[in-house]
Amino acid sequence: MRKPLVPFPFANGTTNRFGRSSLGGGVSTANSNTRIFTQGRAAPVVPAIRNSSTMVNLGLNSERSRGMMIQRLRNQGIQDERVLDAMMAVPRHLFVDEGLASRAYEDAALPIGHGQTISQPWVVARMISVVCENRVPVKVLEVGAGCGYQAAVLAQFVKEVHAIERIRGLYELARDHLRALKLIARVRLTFGDGMAGLPGVAPFDAIIIAAAGIKIPQALLEQLAIGGRLIAPEGSTAQRLILIERTGAAAWRREELESVRFVPLRAGTQS
């Protein structure tokens, strides 16, 4: 990335004009979906209404804030108009804690509870753009649904979106968000082990993994359709985005992209 990694501003919670976030504690750059530096290749949604005047006020201004976010993404090299239009359509501030809502459209990862984060907008746009480049994927799998934001973005232009979340509390949060935005019928959300994928639904035209493992699980590689693409962060302390394209029944092509920082990929489920 263009910016060096800096200390995560919400490690001990945050206080702003919306009050103090209850989700900030315990999150740092060590487990944030944070971009470090860049190298290499360069249906409107109705927002949910919360019982808070601050959220209503922010909602009234969110279209302008989203427009500024989209312009920033263009300046950062995101060119896929499908992705930009989708991110313009989804109200990101509804996917974060109210105490952080005023920062929802900044280029930052924000805590969503359970030691997890919502990826910064550039990371979401970059990963989706890469797997969708020069193609229109019909069936996409997201591993690590989190609060549901990336699945909501994908659902704007992908016909069939499947998303897995291993943490029960986040699965329920994502389900609530998708229901509030009337997207639950367009995103097939599963509580389960993302490392195992969804073999009964495979193959997928694209797979996006929102957590970093030492190695990309072979089970997920096997669930790619021939010609399909998978993108995932790989590594422990030093992580890079990896793009994999399946070129044959037992052949995959691998490409290393930019350095990133993601939460760890874990097996099993957590209630």
Angle between helices 81-89 and 53-75 (to 10 degrees): 170
Give the DSSP H/E element, type plus range, for residue 225.
Answer: strand 224-235
Beta strands in 61-173 (DSSP E): 110-113, 116-118, 139-143, 160-165
Catalytic residue positions, numbered: 119
Q: Could you give the CA distance from residue 159 to residue 4 in angstroms, rounded to a whole number?
A: 37
**Angstrom distances, CA of residue 186 to CA of 148, 155, 168:** 12, 6, 20
- CB 119: neighbour CB atoms within 10 A? 25
* Residues 247/226, Cβ–Cβ less than 8 Å: yes
Cβ neighbours of residue 190 closer than 8 Å, sequence gap 6 or more: 162, 163, 164, 165, 198
Q: Could you give the CA distance from residue 212 to residue 66 in angstroms, rounded to a whole number?
A: 28
Torsion angle of C-alpha atoms 189, 195, 196, 200, degrees rounded to 10: 40
Q: Which of 190, 141, 201 is nearest to 167 (CA)?
A: 190
